[in-house]
Structure 1
Amino acid sequence: MCFRDYSTVQIVQHCLQQGKEGEYWDFKQEWHKRIQDLLKDIICFANTVHDKKCYIIFGIADNLKIVGMTEPRKKQADIIDALSNLHFAGDVSPKISVETVMISGVELDVLIIDNVERTPVYLNRDYGNMKRGCIYARVQDRNTSNNGNADMEIIENLWRKRMGLIKPPYEYIIDRLKIEKSGRTMMVISTMFISQNIESTVTKMMNKILWLRNFMHILKLTRAYPTLALI
């Protein structure tokens, strides 16, 4: 389901209607007591193969009842500051925001983790229970354990996501033909461009995809993903 045109309230309501936690959302009654645990959850949600934003919804009991929060809540600025103090490999760090919504007369906090294209996100220095070089990910409704590492298949798919190999070739090409200008995404495609340049452009893109697929095959053979820093 695409949430692009949905409000945060509608997204929360949709997640509650599922009757369980999922790959891109989680329910908690209170904010994490330890900032280390919160940051680990954020990193896990950043390391997902899909291209959706992820949500941690606070104020929901284990039985999925809307109960609100009674303990101290985290501020967006404090979370961003804590993330900035971590040492991420390749300087690729999650981007987050916090919104407060009202549902059934109860305030809920929603921590939004933006989709990360340059996965996997991992640390090059130990922090809390997280070890440098280890990749923590979100699979279905579970996070990688503190003492573990994501499965090799998950790690491989996270690298494939970074290289644009998760999406079909056509979507990959279209994404690469986009530019950011004046805060809006504008497609660099016109009738003239298509008629004169699309064949050579597609050829170049397909050659790049083929090269990346071969490169991924080499990485799979060497099983060097956790320590490889691809810029």
Structure 2
Amino acid sequence: MAKISIDINYIKDSLEKMGYAISDCVERENNGSFWQFKFSNSSAIVSVYDTNNKKNSVVGGKAEDEERKCLKEIVDKLKCKELQIDPMNRDIVDLINNQEERDYCDFKVEFHHEKGDLLHDILCLSNNTGNKDAFLIFGVADDGEVVGIKEKLSSNNLFDFLRGIKFAGGHMPDVEAKNLYYCHKNIGVIVCKSSKFVPFYLTERYRKVMDHQIYTRVGDTNTPANKHAEYCDIEKLWRIHFERENEQ
């Protein structure tokens, strides 16, 4: 069996993208070489062994059983490069660590039970007046506590849902679903991308979401579903639209 070539910097960088704050990473010897990771934000201690055994990483320390199990699975996959951490993961971790919802960042403990609520959130975030990429983050409470989720987001399911909605001008918000990590916990993110087609609104009502009403998000607050955005915010969105209309 060929020996695995361990890229310890790849493992280290991946763990940091996931939100682990590495306080120590040292190479040790004990019947062979291994690397040991310690963290300032976790009681886990991870040992990665330099052998041809793919799944022999060990997670010890005072971490709870759930973290030990999940983190071992993650590290074993990183060791074999069977797992790649999305570069966006680090940015989302930073947003969560700031513990502050903004006009381009909204936390949800769990997935929406009602599709009208999901559509309303997507419209508000897509119409943020800074015209930034915006993030609907699942598995995080309003105060920034990360609880994680068990389900996976699907971009295909999200597209299928939005394709059935009547958007003005036929312009659907540009969204993408991502399944990311906060340390050992799974989180989901819907990315609502900056677009020249703002403001997005409906020509036909969908459940609680009214037709021909423009919604946005100011600070950490969405426009209520039964109201219009403020005139000055609608004006900003149309100004962005016309300033960007000639973009390819």
Matched letter for residue 132 of structure 2: K
The one-letter code sitting in structure 1 at the alignment partner of 2:228 is: N
Q: Does 1:17 align with 2:97?
A: yes
Q: How far apart, CA to CA, are the structure 2 residues paired with 1:62 and 1:123?
A: 28
* Structure 2 residue matching 1:112: 3-state secondary structure: strand
CA distance in 2, matches of 1:21, 1:37: 18
> Which residue in the other structure is 1:163 paired with?
242
1:100 corresponds to: 179
Total equivalences in the alignment: 163
Match of 2:102, SS state, is coil
1:106-185 mapped onto 2 (5 Å cutoff): 106-164=185-243
- Percent of pairs with identical residues: 29
Q: Which amino acid letter does the alignment assign opposite residue 100 of structure 1?
A: N
Q: Distance in 1 between matches of 2:143 and 2:168?
A: 38
Alpha-carbon offset, residue 138 of structure 1: 1.2
More strand by share: 2
Name the CA distance, whole Å, in 2 between partners of 1:62 and 1:130. 23
Report the TM-score when normalising by structure 2.
0.61
- Specify the alignment match of 2:157 in structure 1: 78
How far apart are residue 49 of structure 1 and its match? Answer: 2.0
Does 1:53 find its partner at 2:118? Answer: no
Partner amino acid, structure 1, of 2:163: S
2:138 matches 1:67:
no
CA contact (8 A) 2:129 2:216 kept: no
Equivalent-residue separation in structure 2 for 1:120 and 1:74 (angstroms)? 25
Q: 1:31 is aligned with what amino acid? A: F
Q: Aligned partners of 2:173 and 2:121: how far apart in 1? A: 11
**Which SS does the other structure have where 1:48 is aligned?**
coil
Q: Which runs of 5+ in 2 are unaligned?
A: 1-85
2: CA distance between counterparts of 1:100 and 1:80? 16
Instruction: Specify the alignment match of 1:8 in structure 2.
Output: 88
Rg bigger for which structure?
Answer: 2
| 2:50 alignment counterpart | none
Work out whether residues 31 and 74 of structure 1, in 8 Å CA contact, stay in contact via their aligned partners in 2.
no
CA contact (8 A) 2:101 2:142 kept: no
Structure 2: how far apart are the matches of 1:132 and 1:100?
A: 31
Q: Give matches, 1:190-205, under 5 Å.
A: none
CA distance in 1, matches of 2:141, 2:122: 20
CA-to-partner distance for each residue in 1:41-77, whole Å, 9 max, x for gaps? 101111122232111111112331221125x554221
1:14 shift after superposition: 1.6
What's the CA shift for 1:154?
0.6
Q: TM-score, normalised by structure 1?
A: 0.66
- In the alignment, the residues of structure 1 paired with residue 209 and residue 108 of structure 2 have an alpha-carbon distance, to the nearest angstrom, of 21
Larger relative CO (CA 8 A, sep 6+): 1 or 2? Answer: 1
Q: In structure 1, how many angstroms separate the alpha carbons of the residues matched to 2:185 and 2:158?
A: 23
